[in-house]
């Protein structure tokens, strides 16, 4: 009988109690809050909500942001969508970072057809899973193939503008996991096709995953004598790889890193000088964009810390884009807001105007390019695209002293 | 009479959980699916643990089942429901073949080998680009039952019921005696005529089939799989933590642990959005430090003390 009571108690515990609230225009956000991208992304979205509310809200109503942590897990991300839509009754969904989580969320998103402003999910697999009918899906972040194409375009334009910059041989050092392997496949396809560039590469075990010895990979790279040395790994690899490159006197003409995030304080290391990187935003954009400055100052004032990831201005933009569309539509009704979103022309803090056009499959793709940046005197400077440029590139990467 | 009461309670509890979709919305059903998946993995891990063998291969077999099911549907055109059964059979077959080699190992050698298997399965799936989709994985053309929440819930519940059923069979049949004898003293078990390899193989194959089946249910419910999500270490660590919290060497212990940790995780997330994982981790550490026998062990001890005290009073 005691066992019986225990079973009934377990079942009773399994019935959760869920509350509801109402009265405002509700924005449901899912981000990985344990990761800096999601943490700062959600903080920036809250900053935008507070700014809009302080200015009187939208259509006389206040905005309310409800954030649920997706924990970088597909099942948790899907549960978060179910909660936000069915329990909190949000008007719009936004956020996201990892493609794996987005893939898990898509079935639930399709079921409800709520407007989604996605700040992450770069994998083309996500676009395939969405299909061409998902007219409620507005993807702000560039797809992986958009990013690859923009890098190719960026290097073409840089070579045209600066005659000293000449790239023929590209070497990609990639971490041996999914992220690195995908980068290698994309680089081979994009730069290796047609014989315009000579592409080679080697893998390494990331320091983030128990590795950290880049010796053999750097030897292969040094032997190859690349014009552009590009590494795809994690923030933990940034400084040790530079240390080992310095020890080996490996000085490619361009040393470029493409981790999802950089280690805190990387810019203060002397080794960082003239290292290039791919990204979407840097505090230096404040000099060329008033919206960026407004966002940056507001973030620092509110949270007493600097935004360290482009997911912050991207998420901030998502809130403003939705708010502007609701204002234009005069309602939160889905079809009217979709129509208004299609007319978006938002001068974002990323230093570019966001509007939505078709990509390979979906109808509403926002940003299609990344930026090429360079660490100069401890600051991330934008060197391409030229309309957001904050400094000229320092080329070639200086010899080690 | 006592036995009858137990059966009635089990049937009542089963009826309540079967009826959940009648009064719960899509969100709690989704959370319940997640809890049930971890619960089934925790129980299956514990089933092999009853022989004294600590397997770190749960996530590997779960991931293998995910891929077997997804690829059977995508490449073989198999019915999604049939693919769940296929995945269970495939995981069982792999476990049967591997069992001949690894079940001769004991203690940490067995544990480390099963952990290595998980990594090998992941690397194989990551590198079979054309077949498994490589690091980007595969996306299914549609979700089983068109994503209808109650049906997905019942499918997962079916997998859980089957796991509980097999676990109870292990507890009530001579498997229990054999596995306990192996755990307590392998030499004396052998000298008493217990065919150690046979029982270990049965336990390893059965638990692998259940883990593969849950992986298949997961992939059919979410419509995609990648090496990183299918072989995620969470499918190893969380079930172990749940079993340890609830109490090992029983069916009910891992069940209690899964419900408590599963709901605590979701509740903490809603109450402490920033930092809930830290609190969750601290809870797990404290429980394992101060309640090594788990909740079920603690309850058993309390009941034994009460009974002893009652006998002394008489």
CATH classification at residue A183: 3.40.50.2300
Q: For residue range A308-333, what is the model confidence (pLDDT) as tens digits?
A: 889 999 999 999 999 999 999 999 99
Same-domain status, A134 and A163: no
Q: What is the DSSP string of A96-162?
A: ---HHHHHHHHHHHHHH--EEEES----HHHHHHH-TT-TTEEE-SPPHHHHHHHHHHHHHHHHHH-
- Predicted confidence band of residue A7 (pLDDT cuts 50, 70, 90): low
Same-domain status, A308 and A229: no
Would you say residue A401 lies in a domain?
A: no
Same-domain status, A243 and A280: yes
- Predicted confidence band of residue A13 (pLDDT cuts 50, 70, 90): very low
Mean pLDDT of chain A: 90
Q: For residue range B26-66, what is the model confidence (pLDDT) as tens digits?
A: 999 999 999 999 999 999 999 999 999 999 999 999 999 99
Identify any residues that bridge with B165 across adjacent strands, giving them in sequence order.
Answer: none
B31 and A181: CB-CB below 8 Å? Answer: no
Which range marks the domain in which residue A49 is found?
Answer: 25-144+288-354
Same-domain status, A35 and A135: yes
In this prediction, residue A195 carries a pLDDT of 80
The pLDDT of residue B279 is above 90: no
Quote the CA–CA distance of A145 and B182 in Å, as a whole number: 56
Would you say residue A20 lies in a domain?
A: no
Query: Which uninterrupted H or E stretch holds A384?
Result: strand A379-384
Quote the CA–CA distance of A97 and A39 in Å, as a whole number: 11
Residue A401: burial class (beta carbons within 10 Å; 0-12, 13-18, 19+): exposed
Quote the CA–CA distance of B41 and B222 in Å, as a whole number: 18
Q: Searching chain B, which residue's CA lies closest to the CA of residue A144?
A: B136
Same-domain status, A108 and A132: yes
Q: Which chain B residues have a beta carbon less than 8 Å from that of A182? A: 134-136
- Mean pLDDT over A275-294 rounds to 93
Same-domain status, A134 and A228: no
Same-domain status, A151 and A52: no
Quick one: CA dihedral B263, B268, B271, B277, positive or negative? negative
Q: Which chain A residues have a beta carbon less than 8 Å from that of B9? A: 1, 3-5, 7-8
Q: Which chain A residues have a beta carbon less than 8 Å from that of B5? A: 1, 4
Which residues are CB-neighbours of A102 under 8 A, at least 6 positions away? A77, A96, A118, A120, A121, A123, A126
Q: Which two tokens stand for residue A388?
A: 């957001």
Same-domain status, A251 and A378: yes
Interface of A with B in 142-201 (CB under 8 A): 177-179, 181-182, 185
Q: Which chain B residues have a beta carbon less than 8 Å from that of A181? A: 126, 134-135
Quote the CA–CA distance of A69 and A96 in Å, as a whole number: 10
Mean pLDDT of chain B: 90
Would you say residue A362 lies in a domain?
A: no
Give me the total of CB pairs closer than 8 Å, taking one residue from chain A and one from chain B: 148
Would you say residue A19 lies in a domain?
A: no
Same-domain status, A152 and A241: yes
Same-domain status, A112 and A195: no
Percent of chain B with pLDDT over 70: 99
Cβ(A147)–Cβ(A121) below 8 Å: no
Q: Mind telling me how many Å the CA of A71 is from chain B's nearest CA?
A: 9
Identify any residues that bridge with A61 across adjacent strands, giving them in sequence order.
Answer: A58
Quote the CA–CA distance of B193 and B195 in Å, as a whole number: 6
Interface of A with B in 77-106 (CB under 8 A): 78-79, 82-83, 85-87, 100, 103-104, 106
Would you say residue A218 lies in a domain?
A: yes
Would you say residue A11 lies in a domain?
A: no
Q: Which two tokens stand for residue B279?
A: 């609190």
Q: Which two tokens stand for residue A340?
A: 């208004």
Same-domain status, A274 and A378: yes
Number of domains in chain A: 2
In this prediction, residue A17 carries a pLDDT of 36
Quote the CA–CA distance of A360 and A374 in Å, as a whole number: 30
Same-domain status, A338 and A225: no
**Is pLDDT larger for residue B227 or for residue A325?**
A325
Sort residue A27 into left (φ over 0), alpha (ψ -120 to 50) or beta. Answer: beta
Quote the CA–CA distance of A282 and A385 in Å, as a whole number: 13
């Amino acid at each position: 009988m005691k066992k019986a009571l225990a079973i009934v108690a377990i079942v009773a515990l399994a019935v959760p109690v869920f509350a509801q609230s109402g009265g405002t225009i509700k924005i449901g956000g899912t981000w990985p809050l344990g990761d800096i991208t999601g943490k700062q992304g959600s903080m920036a979205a809250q900053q935008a909500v507070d700014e809009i509310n302080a200015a009187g809200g939208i259509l006389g109503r206040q905005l309310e942001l409800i954030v649920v942590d997706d924990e970088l897990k597909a099942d948790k991300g899907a549960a978060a969508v179910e909660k936000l839509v069915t329990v909190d009754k949000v008007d719009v969904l936004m956020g996201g970072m990892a493609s794996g989580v987005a893939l898990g969320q898509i079935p639930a998103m399709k079921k409800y057809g709520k407007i989604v402003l996605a700040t992450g999910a770069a994998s083309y697999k996500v676009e395939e899973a969405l299909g061409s009918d998902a007219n409620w899906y507005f993807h702000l972040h560039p797809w992986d193939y958009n990013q690859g194409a923009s890098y190719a375009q960026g290097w073409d334009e840089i070579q045209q503008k600066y005659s000293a910059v000449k790239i023929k041989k590209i070497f990609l050092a990639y971490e041996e996991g999914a992220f690195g392997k995908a980068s290698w496949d994309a680089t081979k396809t994009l730069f290796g096709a047609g014989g315009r560039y000579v592409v080679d590469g080697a893998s390494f075990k990331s320091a983030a995953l128990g590795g950290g010895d880049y010796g053999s990979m750097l030897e292969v790279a040094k032997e190859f004598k690349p014009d552009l040395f590009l590494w795809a790994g994690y923030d933990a690899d940034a400084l040790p790889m530079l240390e080992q490159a310095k020890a080996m006197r490996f000085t490619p003409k361009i040393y470029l890193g493409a981790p999802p995030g950089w280690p805190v304080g990387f810019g203060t290391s002397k080794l960082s000088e003239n290292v290039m990187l791919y990204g979407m935003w840097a505090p230096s954009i404040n000099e060329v964009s008033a919206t960026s400055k407004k966002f940056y100052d507001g973030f620092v004032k509110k949270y007493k810390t600097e935004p360290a990831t482009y997911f912050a201005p991207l998420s901030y933009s998502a809130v403003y884009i939705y708010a502007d569309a609701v204002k234009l539509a005069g309602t939160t009704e889905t079809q009217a807001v979709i129509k208004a979103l299609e007319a978006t022309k938002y001068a974002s803090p990323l230093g570019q105007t966001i509007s939505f056009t078709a990509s390979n499959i979906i109808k509403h793709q926002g940003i299609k390019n990344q930026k090429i940046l360079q660490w100069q005197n401890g600051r991330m400077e934008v060197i391409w695209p030229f309309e957001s440029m904050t400094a000229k590139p320092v080329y070639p990467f200086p010899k080690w002293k | 009479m006592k036995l009858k009461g137990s059966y009635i309670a089990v049937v009542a509890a089963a009826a309540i959980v079967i009826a959940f979709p009648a009064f719960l919305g899509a969100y709690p059903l989704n959370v319940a699916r997640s809890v049930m998946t971890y619960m089934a993995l925790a129980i299956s891990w514990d089933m092999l643990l009853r022989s004294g063998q600590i397997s770190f291969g749960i996530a590997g077999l779960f991931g293998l089942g995910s891929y077997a099911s997804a690829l059977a549907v995508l490449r073989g055109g198999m019915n999604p429901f049939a693919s769940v059964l296929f995945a269970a059979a495939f995981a069982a077959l792999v476990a049967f073949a591997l069992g001949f080699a690894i079940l001769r190992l004991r203690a940490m050698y067995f544990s480390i080998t099963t952990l290595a298997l998980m990594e090998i399965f992941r690397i194989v799936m990551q590198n079979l680009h054309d077949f498994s989709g490589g690091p980007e994985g595969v996306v299914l053309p549609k979700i089983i039952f068109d994503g209808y929440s109650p049906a997905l819930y019942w499918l997962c519940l079916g997998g859980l019921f089957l796991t509980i059923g097999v676990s109870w069979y292990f507890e009530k049949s001579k498997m229990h005696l054999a596995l306990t004898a192996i755990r307590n003293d392998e030499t004396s078990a052998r000298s008493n005529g217990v065919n150690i390899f046979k029982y270990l193989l049965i336990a390893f194959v059965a638990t692998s089939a259940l883990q593969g089946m849950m992986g298949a249910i997961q992939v059919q419910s979410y419509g995609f799989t990648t090496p990183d999500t299918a072989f995620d270490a969470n499918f190893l660590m969380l079930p172990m933590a749940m079993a340890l919290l609830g109490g090992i060497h029983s069916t009910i212990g891992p069940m209690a642990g899964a419900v408590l940790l599963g709901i605590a995780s979701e509740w903490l997330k809603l109450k402490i959005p920033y930092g809930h994982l830290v609190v969750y981790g601290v809870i797990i550490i404290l429980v394992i430090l101060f309640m090594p026998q788990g909740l079920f062990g603690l309850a058993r001890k309390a009941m034994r003390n009460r009974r002893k005290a009652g006998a002394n009073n008489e």
